[in-house]
Amino acid sequence: MEEEFEKIASDFLVPLRMREGLDENKYLALCDALHNLRDKLSNNDTITKSLALLLIDIYPQMQGIASLYSDVEAEKIQDWAEDLIELIHEVVT
């Protein structure tokens, strides 16, 4: 579960960081992965440290990545980051 999530997150974040553009399909895959995590962990009181680190790193990475793009794309990245942080919150609560 964790390794699969890490791969999906990397598949989304690495190309974005490399200025390869916004990939909505990879963004949606990350959203789906977060929904799946939320569902799988809904009865757990704890998560692993490694998963926590993965989750808390997504938002600041996206905020930094946004500065690499034009205003329109940066705004889209920031919107996606806000959506993702809401999903992350659902995973950990």
Distances (CA, A) of 66 to 10, 21, 49, 60, 82: 16, 11, 27, 10, 12
Whether 1 shows a pLDDT value over 90: the answer reads no
Q: Report the pLDDT value the prediction gives residue 70, as an integer from 0 to 100.
A: 95
Q: Kindly tell me the sign of the dihedral angle through the C-alpha atoms of 38, 43, 45, 47.
A: negative
Read off the amino acid at residue 59. Y
The set of residues, in sequence order, having a beta carbon less than 8 Å from that of 16 and lying 6+ positions away, is 22, 23, 62, 65, 77
Query: Which two three-digit tokens encode residue 15?
Result: 């190309």
- What is the value of pTM for the model shown? 0.93
Whether 6 shows a pLDDT value over 90: the answer reads yes
Instruction: Note down the domain range covering 86.
Output: 2-92
Q: Which tens digit of pLDDT belongs to each residue from 24-76?
A: 999 999 999 999 999 999 999 899 999 999 999 999 999 999 999 999 999 99
Split into its structural domains, the chain has a count of 1
